[in-house]
Structure 1
């Protein structure tokens, strides 16, 4: 059955599911915010921003429970629909930004920057820059799509733009994981590399963080694939017309990412930096330090 042009969702959005999701994301947002200021691990700021996007997105989705129809004289329902659609779509891009930044810090912390196929100076700039590009593409497409108001050509263009942004993000993530994998392999077998052993006086287990990075990257990529399929199926497609997919294939994976990445607020990375003369921003128990030079 085709969705009514005046019906934003095509079904009655579940208030209970939205409330439960809001509570979960609110707890995780608070947790990440506390850890952020406690450890001053500033590269994790995007986690808090993305989590806040999820909270606001699902709050406006909850409001859609009683505001699912377009009424020209009542802008509220349209505003709620646009906010929830855009924020829930874009939130994972912020999680991805922190994932990208964490890799360069892991590499620097081990002191084996020469094993990276991409210079660590450019690693964060390249991937976060790509993430910012995807953010702009997807937000443009989402804005166009949610404001189509029955204009089929505009809706199709918005859908194609969003899909372009999602596919580009998947490609960038694939390249990112490839770079991480090459460095990881060299760390396991390269000359002078620590292999499977922890590094530093405190026995920092760099490989554990690499596996968490892979898990977060894989989950975000899987979620993006779901979104590509959803948009490809069209506004009357199964995924868009069945609410369970939003919670099981989008919200739940992002909850897992936030839980996994809550372990990334570590202060011991800075004490492990080994690059001679490299200007770095260090953090030991939340304190900023200067340049580290190896003897």
Structure 2
């Protein structure tokens, strides 16, 4: 290896030789998913789903930035952008799961049955409580990502700064993992506890054709369990990705996950993509009557 090649490897922000091809595939797939999510957001006027639009845009921009970063591994700005966006986007996707699960509860569970025993958390508090944890996790991971990507190898205290950033991001992932883990258990459990309301949903709403019902004057598909299963699948995928990131931060810069590229695509890109794509096909607006920022009083 010549002097120039050694200098390039030393200056690279990656601890492996990054590949361009998988980065391009990820960038194309996420860009398509973002465009479809954006079109549906406008088409269905599902304003609360704007959070998913933002997170899909972050993923698309993150992987596009990675394509640029792979071509110039010594450029700090593109490396920082791709690292930060890919790290933070799933945190917003978790918030989407909280919101949709809460709306499902409001839709199918009668007001008198929305007890702590059934839901563990009353529907009206699911979004503020879990999104609150999400915001804390987002800020911590953002702060950690900024610290990690702003470290200059020439600084005397570079290792200390890197460790500090790693620990901050690590705490952020732990917060997200604990909160989202509890939510995942509650959401998956609800698949079984919600069976008692399957018939009552049909009885409570006016019949409109074979597969739809009128809810608040809006015709919607009655097969809400499908949407609940999509939320469950998305929740599990985000959990897998969060565990991966936690292990990555714990191992440090010299760990296996930081010195090999394939885990990034398997446990992050591949895990998170269905979290966008599944909702493109099974869009919440096809199952829920209200997708505005606030539920009408009669729906609460």
2:159 pairs with 1:152: yes
With over 3 angstroms needed to count, the CA separation of the structure-2 counterparts of 1:293 and 1:59, relative to structure 1, is closer
Structure 2: segments with no counterpart, 5+ residues = 1-7, 214-221
- What is the distance in 2 between the residues matched to 1:55 and 1:293? 35
1:108 corresponds to 2:106 = yes
Please report how far the alpha carbon of residue 291 of structure 1 lies from its aligned counterpart in structure 2 after TM superposition: 3.9
Alignment match of 1:118 (pick from 114, 118, 121): 121
Range moving further from structure 2, 14-23 or 200-209: 200-209
Contact 2:106-2:299 within 8 A present in 1 as well:
no
Structure-1-length-normalised TM-score: 0.83
1:194 is matched with which residue? 198
Return the offset for 1:14.
1.5
Residues 64 and 80, structure 1, Cα contact 8 Å, conserved in 2: yes
Q: TM-score, normalised by structure 2?
A: 0.82
Alignment RMSD (CA, Å): 2.5
Q: Structure 1 residue 16: deviation in Å?
A: 1.7
| Greater share of residues in helix | 2
1:42-53 correspondence to structure 2 within 5 Å:
42-53=47-58
Determine the C-alpha separation between the residues in 2 that align with 1:16 and 1:182: 40
- Write the distance in 2 (CA, Å) between the matches of 1:255 and 1:117: 29
Gaps of 5+ in 1: 70-76, 271-281
Q: Which residue of 2 aligns with 1:266?
A: 285
* Cα deviation 1:133-190 (Å, max 9, x = unaligned): 100000001101111223001100110111111111110012212332454433224x
| Per-residue deviation, 1:119 | 1.9
SS of residue in 1 equivalent to 2:17: coil
Shift of 1:127: 0.9
Q: CA deviation at 1:30?
A: 0.5
Aligned to 1:104, the other structure's residue is in SS state helix
In the other structure, the counterpart of 1:25 is: 30
Q: Distance in 2 between matches of 1:289 and 1:126?
A: 17
> By how many angstroms is 1:213 displaced?
1.1
Is the alpha carbon distance of 1:194 and 1:165 closer, same or farther for their aligned partners in structure 2, counting shifts above 3 Å? same
Q: CA deviation at 1:195?
A: 6.5
Contact 1:188 1:196 in 2 (8 A): no
Q: Is the 8 A contact 1:13 1:61 kept in 2?
A: no
Contact 1:220 1:254 in 2 (8 A): yes
Whether the 8 Å CA contact 1:197–1:205 is kept in 2: the answer is no
CA contact (8 A) 1:196 1:207 kept: no
**Would the alpha carbon gap of residues 293 and 110 (structure 1) be closer, same or farther in structure 2, given more than 3 Å must change?**
closer
- The offset of 1:240, in angstroms, is 1.1
CA–CA separation in structure 2 for the residues paired with 1:89 and 1:105: 27
User: Among residues 247, 255, 260, which one is paired with 2:265 in the alignment?
Assistant: 247
> Does 2:177 match 1:170?
yes
1:161 to 168, 171, 182: 168
Instruction: Report the alpha carbon displacement of residue 11 of structure 1 after superposing the two structures with TM.
Output: 2.5
Distance 1:182 1:289 in 2: 24
